[in-house]
Chain A
Amino acid sequence: MKSPRDVVLVDGIRTPFAKAGTNLKKIHPADLGKAALQALIARTNLDVNVVDEVIIGNTGNPVDAVNISRVIALSSGIPQKTSAYTVHRNCASALESISNGFEKIKSGTMDVVVAGGTESMSQFPTLLPQSMQDIFEKLFAAKGPGQALPLVWQLLKSELRQIKALLTGNMKDPYFPVIAVMKGLTDPFVGINMGQTAEILAKEWNLSRDVQDRFALRSHQRSSAATKSGRFKEEITPIFLPPKYDSVLEADTGPRENQTMEALTKLKPFFDKQTGTITAGNSCPITDGAAMVLIMSREKADALGYKPIAKICSYGFAGCEPERMGLGPVYATPVALKRAGLTMKEIGLVELNEAFSAQVLACQKAFDSKTFAEEKLGLSDKIGELREEILNPNGGAIALGHPVGATGTRIVLTLARQMKKTQTQFGLATLCIGGGQGGAMILELEN
């Protein structure tokens, strides 16, 4: 049943994704977002005056662009009159942006929303430790050299201590600099790193190193194939690298066509050196990138003559244990399915974000577990099988990378395009969220 207030996804586009510290490291996250949004506007020949709102997810919150959505909107040619705001739901920030737009359109409040996400994990800052910030605070308030000089001396001493902390590699030293990306990947409630949450899942769900590495290999092989076949080209806009513009990044840099099991096997466990199985090879790399989608009410899309790719049926967010955050999709999916009035059997394609091999595989098992459904979800039956052949047909974040604030939109975009390509009626995009949550969104193909 089509309704004029259906929310449809007109089109979407993203930048190529590149591992943090490489090709895109000098590009500000606002400029990554701009590149994607400008391409989206061009590709849809959008009259920017019809845009009601721009909603962008971002987690790094760059200090020089705190409402980064507004910066992206203005630099992309969205009119000044149009409102823009930034949303933060950690790893699902760019799913949150779409769900915000969905609600506003569904309710009849708005008709046209640009939603998306951007992240430059390269540009996450290195901060002064609190001990040194205190000195600076006093120094800026100091009156005259009498007050300032002793503080300068203290600063000098603390800098020597910082160098000592760096040389000894003691990250617990109160003078060790705060590395924002490390802090961001550590759960603030239970104090363990995201990798350690994956270690818990690997052990609890009996996931061997071998199955994890095989899943990582699959991700590389499928992403490479999608790059090579041109499948990803349709969702990527090339990005020039200023100020010389002498090179252009046209494709994701993560997927390794020649990835072998041997190479993956050789890697040492990163988080638990003794009994662990989580390596850099079966985890997603920290990454830079941005993605944008254009969503509208059906009546507006019709009036403007657009042929949308998909309808957004529903979304759902749900919480879980922070130390098992990787199972988030298992908690969120039933919520979204229920709202859409669908069951897992009807879902023909799934994009489940690959934070870690172990986390994806644990989810797969939990989807199919009656016990888990009963004990943890309060459901009478299992959610339903997450079949291997419908899961991440183009690989995922282990190969492509996971720019935290952009991934939510990326998986929705990749899902929609794949549904169109394979003429699949229903699809699910879902991801786990640091802090212990899951997010899910269900799309239906438009004909």
Chain B
Amino acid sequence: MIQPLKESIKITADGDIAWVDFDLPNEKINKLSGAVLMRLKEVVAEIKQSKFKTVIFSSMKNKIFIAGADIQEIKLLKTQADIKAAVEIGQSIMNEVEDLPQVTIASVNGACMGGGCEFILACDYRIASEDPSTKIGLPETQLGIIPGFGGCVRMPRVVGLPTALDIILAGKAYAATKAFKVGLVDRVVHPNLLRQETKKWAQTLTAKRRKVYQPKDFMSKVLDSGLGRGIVFKKARQGVIKATRGQYPAPLKALEVIANTYKMQDRNKALEIEKQGFVLCAVTDISKNLIHVYELTERVKKQTGVPGIKGKDVTHLGLLGAGTMGGGIAFVSADKGIEVRVKDLSIQALGNSLKHARELFSKNLKRKSINTYQLKQKMDLITTTTDYSGFGRLDLVVEAIVEDMEIKKKVIAETAGQMRPDAIIATNTSSLSVSEMSKGHPRPEFFAGMHFFNPVNRMPLVEVIRGDKTSDQTTATVFELAKKMGKMPVVVKDGPGFLVNRLLLPYMAEAAFLLQEGMSGDRIDDLYVKFGMPMGPVALMDEVGLDVCVKVLKIFQKAYSDRMEIPPLFDALAKSERKGKKNGKGFYKYSADGRRLEYDPTILNELGLPMPTNRYSDAECVERGVYGMINEAARALFDDRIVESAHEVDLAMIMGTGFPPFRGGLLRYADSVGMKPIVTALEKYSRERKAKRLIPAPALIKTTTFYK
């Protein structure tokens, strides 16, 4: 039995009112760990026996009410019985809160997530501060579980089905004003007034209440009716399937639980259904994998890129080379309040980058995440130039010009001459050596790589590349800048393809070999999408640009020789007009506005490919690509030490290529399959398909697991 943590919750008498304050010792946040829950149980029992008329639950932490359950504890729950026991404890304590004879008020300032949100739903009344830190929501499905402390039952009761589904299925959190609008909280006040207003309000509240959502307008009434509900559930299910391709069971389970418990009079029965659903989700590997991914991202938040070194704050950014990439980088920077100066020789290119950034801001405007004033303020941060004017004010310049070593070196030298001696230049090259390029810089310690992924506004990964001479301070500054832009940086050593492209290019090439050997492109893509990739490797080649794939793979072949075999069809491809999505001609057909349409059968003839026989098994198609990546990852990680650990590989692959989060990352997936079967399969394919590139690397053979 877990011992209650006495100091975590305090009761203070204030006349008829009991203030119950959460204040977890030695922590910045409050969370509902087992020990805190046990303390809450004690507190509730004590209050129940007391003469208090009203109870106010509040937090002594700055900007945190209750951040949720303890994820470390969830991770340790292995068996169904463990999970069941944990959920039962939580549910019963929430019931005890709900059943207190006193009037209960939750007074919320700061994050109120997961278990914290479920807790306030068990209170009679809710008041929140309008501080920007106040966020109320149920993010459980993002971790592969469902709300298990009564959230699936109480949230729909309080706010109605459409809102509850919006919160639970997408794992959303609402700001105070939105929470007030949907009835999740009853009042919103300025943070400075929260305590006194809560108290005043407490003195007027005499009756307990169990809030039940009352639809107001006609449409809401229809949707809340028996027939309407059916439609709501059906639509929600379709939405979830579309968003997750059915590969994430938690939102579907949550939906099922809500459908089976909505309007149910018997609380215990409803909670029993919720518990069953929770157990089924929490026991899955998918949930463990999603928690792993969550931890990978949390890890980055705490890192600085170089242990013990804090990067400098970048407030003025320069960009060499406009275009789509430039527009995207300008957008993510200006969005975070960084001034951006874009330089290009072409006025038209500059105009395009402004237009691209503006379109992205306009989308946010439509989504109402910004208003017109904010749009203008952000756009005002972006200025353009055809000369080096203003470069003396810049802290860091990202170079994104043509991929040509000599031109880049020349431009870098020229640019460095226009900047402060302590300013940094970072190249966005995807295929050239950062160390070699740094020779163009008069002070190479101020030079690094900062590799973004396209489209910049959507892809979270940034590879921060350390050249031979890059200083710790420079690395940390680039890392910090990436975080400031809202990106996930991973520090990698210099080497052809760095990390992600080094794994991704041979993976795409493997798909080209499969095409060559008689598999059809759309079939290959279907299999990988089923595996969980956001798009198949053939479509990805189109996306990257077929000319780019050919060019980069040739660079890799020089560096890695046999391991990077070039599929014969690449020669034909290099000669063809097909460049992929960018010119509307690739393995697929494209609409005028760039949407991918059906597979283009005429490409077979054009590249001299055989008629597809699709003779290989599904497993072979996927394993050759995925195991091939694992094989190369072993070399990158253990032989070349491109990154420090498996964590970085997995974070990079998820954030940079969309490797399915539910698999926890490439190397976590490898660990789950086991090294033996992977090595055996690779040996078999390399032998049977005469593919030297698939021979298992010594580093892989030596490995038992990537995660220790």
Q: Do chains A and B interact in one complex?
A: yes
Q: Which residues of A are at the interface with B, using a C-beta cutoff of 8 A?
A: 34, 38-39, 41-43, 45-47, 75-77, 238, 240, 242-248, 250
B390 touches A41 (CB 8 A): yes
Q: Which 6 A-B pairs have the closest CB atoms?
A: A42-B390, A45-B392, A245-B351, A245-B354, A42-B389, A75-B380
B381 touches A77 (CB 8 A): yes
- What is the bound-complex CA distance between A217 and B341, given in angstroms? 40
Indicate if B501 sits at the interface (CB-CB under 8 A): no
Instruction: State the main secondary structure of chain A at its contact with B.
Output: loop
Partner among B339, B351, B352, B362 whose Cβ is within 8 Å of the Cβ of A77: B339
- What is the bound-complex CA distance between A201 and B194, given in angstroms? 72
B383 touches A42 (CB 8 A): yes
Indicate if B410 sits at the interface (CB-CB under 8 A): no
A245 touches B358 (CB 8 A): yes
- What is the bound-complex CA distance between A91 and B278, given in angstroms? 75
- What is the bound-complex CA distance between A197 and B428, given in angstroms? 62
16 chain-A/chain-B pairs, Cβ below 8 angstroms? A42-B385, A42-B389, A42-B393, A43-B389, A43-B390, A45-B390, A45-B391, A46-B393, A75-B380, A77-B380, A242-B358, A245-B351, A245-B355, A246-B355, A248-B350, A248-B351
B379 touches A242 (CB 8 A): yes
Which residues of B in the span 469-491 have a Cβ within 8 Å of any Cβ on A? none
- Given the known interface contacts A42-B341, A42-B383, A75-B377, the answer about A240 and B389 at a Cβ–Cβ threshold of 8 Å is no
What residues of chain B lie closer than 8 Å to A34, measured between beta carbons?
A: 380
What residues of chain A lie closer than 8 Å to B362, measured between beta carbons?
A: 243
Q: Which of A47, A245, A248: most chain B Cβ within 10 A?
A: A245
Interface string of B189-212 (1 = CB under 8 A from A): 000000000000000000000000
Indicate if B376 sits at the interface (CB-CB under 8 A): yes
- What is the bound-complex CA distance between A77 and B352, given in angstroms? 23
Nearest residue (CB) in B for A76 is: B380
- What is the bound-complex CA distance between A238 and B379, given in angstroms? 17
Interface size on B, residues (CB 8 A): 23
Closest-CB distance, B200 to chain A (whole angstroms): 35
Nearest residue (CB) in A for B377 is: A75
- What is the bound-complex CA distance between A46 and B389, given in angstroms? 10
Closest-CB distance, B288 to chain A (whole angstroms): 47
- Given the known interface contacts A45-B391, A76-B380, the answer about A240 and B350 at a Cβ–Cβ threshold of 8 Å is yes
Which residues of B in the span 377-436 have a Cβ within 8 Å of any Cβ on A? 377, 379-381, 383-385, 389-393
- What is the bound-complex CA distance between A244 and B354, given in angstroms? 8
- What is the bound-complex CA distance between A244 and B348, given in angstroms? 11
What residues of chain A lie closer than 8 Å to B355, measured between beta carbons?
A: 243-246
- What is the bound-complex CA distance between A246 and B352, given in angstroms? 7
What residues of chain A lie closer than 8 Å to B309, measured between beta carbons?
A: none
- What is the bound-complex CA distance between A10 and B129, given in angstroms? 50
Partner among A39, A238, A242 whose Cβ is within 8 Å of the Cβ of B347: A238
Nearest residue (CB) in A for B357 is: A245
Partner among B352, B376, B392, B393 whose Cβ is within 8 Å of the Cβ of A245: B352
Nearest residue (CB) in A for B316 is: A77
A45 touches B393 (CB 8 A): yes
Nearest residue (CB) in A for B381 is: A77
What residues of chain B lie closer than 8 Å to A47, measured between beta carbons?
A: 393
Which residues of B in the span 319-357 have a Cβ within 8 Å of any Cβ on A? 339, 341, 347, 350-352, 354-355
Q: Which of B379, B389, B392: most chain A Cβ within 10 A?
A: B389
B351 touches A240 (CB 8 A): yes
Q: Which of B339, B362, B390, B391: most chain A Cβ within 10 A?
A: B390
Closest-CB distance, A120 to chain B (whole angstroms): 16
What residues of chain A lie closer than 8 Å to B385, measured between beta carbons?
A: 42
What residues of chain B lie closer than 8 Å to A75, measured between beta carbons?
A: 376-377, 380
- What is the bound-complex CA distance between A247 and B350, given in angstroms? 10
Closest-CB distance, B260 to chain A (whole angstroms): 49
Nearest residue (CB) in A for B420 is: A45
- What is the bound-complex CA distance between A41 and B393, given in angstroms? 9
What residues of chain B lie closer than 8 Å to A45, measured between beta carbons?
A: 389-393
What residues of chain B lie closer than 8 Å to A43, measured between beta carbons?
A: 389-390
- What is the bound-complex CA distance between A38 and B384, given in angstroms? 10
- What is the bound-complex CA distance between A424 and B352, given in angstroms? 42
A240 touches B384 (CB 8 A): yes
- What is the bound-complex CA distance between A407 and B341, given in angstroms? 28
Which residues of B in the span 352-381 have a Cβ within 8 Å of any Cβ on A? 352, 354-355, 358, 362, 376-377, 379-381
- What is the bound-complex CA distance between A244 and B359, given in angstroms? 9
What residues of chain A lie closer than 8 Å to B377, measured between beta carbons?
A: 75
- What is the bound-complex CA distance between A45 and B392, given in angstroms? 5
Closest-CB distance, B42 to chain A (whole angstroms): 50
Closest-CB distance, B189 to chain A (whole angstroms): 27
What residues of chain A lie closer than 8 Å to B354, measured between beta carbons?
A: 240, 242, 245
What residues of chain B lie closer than 8 Å to A240, measured between beta carbons?
A: 350-351, 354, 384
- What is the bound-complex CA distance between A194 and B675, given in angstroms? 89
Nearest residue (CB) in B for A35 is: B383
What residues of chain A lie closer than 8 Å to B347, measured between beta carbons?
A: 238, 248, 250
Nearest residue (CB) in B for A75 is: B380
What residues of chain A lie closer than 8 Å to B379, measured between beta carbons?
A: 242
What residues of chain B lie closer than 8 Å to A46, measured between beta carbons?
A: 393
What residues of chain A lie closer than 8 Å to B389, measured between beta carbons?
A: 39, 42-43, 45
Other than the given A39-B383, A248-B350, 16 more pairs (CB < 8 A) read A38-B383, A42-B385, A42-B390, A45-B390, A76-B380, A77-B381, A238-B347, A240-B350, A240-B384, A244-B355, A245-B352, A245-B355, A246-B355, A247-B351, A248-B347, A248-B351
Which residues of B in the span 174-223 have a Cβ within 8 Å of any Cβ on A? none
What residues of chain B lie closer than 8 Å to A77, measured between beta carbons?
A: 339, 380-381
